[in-house]
Amino acid sequence: MANESQIMHEITPLMSRDALYIADRRKSEFTYPIHNHEVFELNFVEHASGVRRIVGDSCEIIGDYDLVLITSPKLEHVWEQHQCTSQEVREITIQFNFGTDDNDFFAKNPFVSISDMIKEARKGLCFPLEAILKVYHELDTLSQEQDNFRMVMRFLNILHQLSLCKNTRTLATTSYAKMDVEDDSKRVLKVKKYISENYQDELKLETLADIANMSKSAFSRFFKLHTGRTLSDYIIDIRMGFATRRLVDTADSIANISFQCGYNNLSNFNRIFKKKKGCSPSEFRENYHKVRRII
């Protein structure tokens, strides 16, 4: 399971006035790093047998169909390529932010089963095949719905059907706790937090060493000792994770994405991206066929 300092906090496209964010994509590779986010997420994966799914302290190899609801902003999760060789993976991600407080929508009596499900899904909730089959048609066609009101109603129906399922199981354990952090590794945690919040800007070794209260040379050795990676490799991985999501989720130009993830030189960005991903940013984008809706 992931150390907290290795988890990327995702800033999702869902704005406060939006109801849903739907990403319906076909792909052959899972590249997004382990992460968490403030909004709730229902994630469906099809034809991805051999993928490794990590949710909190749960680690499982999935079959051809996988459906998980996650409603905790602190619960890290990722779907990793692992042993999956399928070239026809489909992933449907639906993010929403309907709360469960006393004055929120799902707190009303007609939605009690959904509210209970959302609370249980704070540990990550996995649905059995029988539940997936009940909502498969709605999931399959949801992103094609042209009427926004009907789309929300259809999504509520999906949640309702899932909330009635009796054979769900939680993934992360109730007692799941982060590993104790020694005084020295707290320095690395502090640096990683700074990197995750400032990766768009120039990151100087001197600045990061100052945060850890160490000399530059000592900090470089210390960081590699505690993470197994050089500082530059770690920063590149963080930036590449951001870049791949922007390539998939937006129509931003590659030059703009390069600037957004901390590279002022486009050719340098292209070179590093190809080295890490095995293809150019434009080729990576072309490999992802995606229907994207925000309403």
Q: Got the DSSP string for 2-25?
A: --GGG-EE---S--TT--EEEEEE
Establish if 72 belongs to a structural domain: yes
Q: Which of 137, 170, 203 is the last residue of a domain?
A: 170
What pLDDT does residue 291 have?
64
Domain that holds residue 75: 4-170
Give the pLDDT mean for 55-80.
Answer: 91
Please indicate, yes or no, whether residues 34 and 105 belong to a single structural domain of this protein: yes
pTM: 0.67
Please indicate, yes or no, whether residues 62 and 208 belong to a single structural domain of this protein: no
Q: Comparing C-alpha atoms, which of 219, 218, 225, 215 is closest to residue 195? A: 219
Return d(Cα 24, Cα 151) in angstroms, integer.
14
Return d(Cα 136, Cα 142) in angstroms, integer.
10
Q: Are strands 65-70 and 40-46 parallel, antiparallel or unpaired?
A: antiparallel
| CATH number of the domain residue 142 falls in | 2.60.120.280
The answer, yes or no, to whether residue 231 has pLDDT greater than 70, is yes
Q: What is the pLDDT of residues 132-170, one digit of tens each?
A: 999 999 999 999 999 999 999 999 999 999 999 989 999
Q: What is the pLDDT of residues 263-288, one digit of tens each?
A: 989 999 999 999 888 889 998 887 76
| CATH number of the domain residue 274 falls in | 1.10.10.60
User: Which value, to the nearest 10 degrees, does the dihedral of the CA atoms of residues 196, 76, 174, 42 take?
Assistant: 140
The answer, yes or no, to whether residue 180 has pLDDT greater than 60, is no
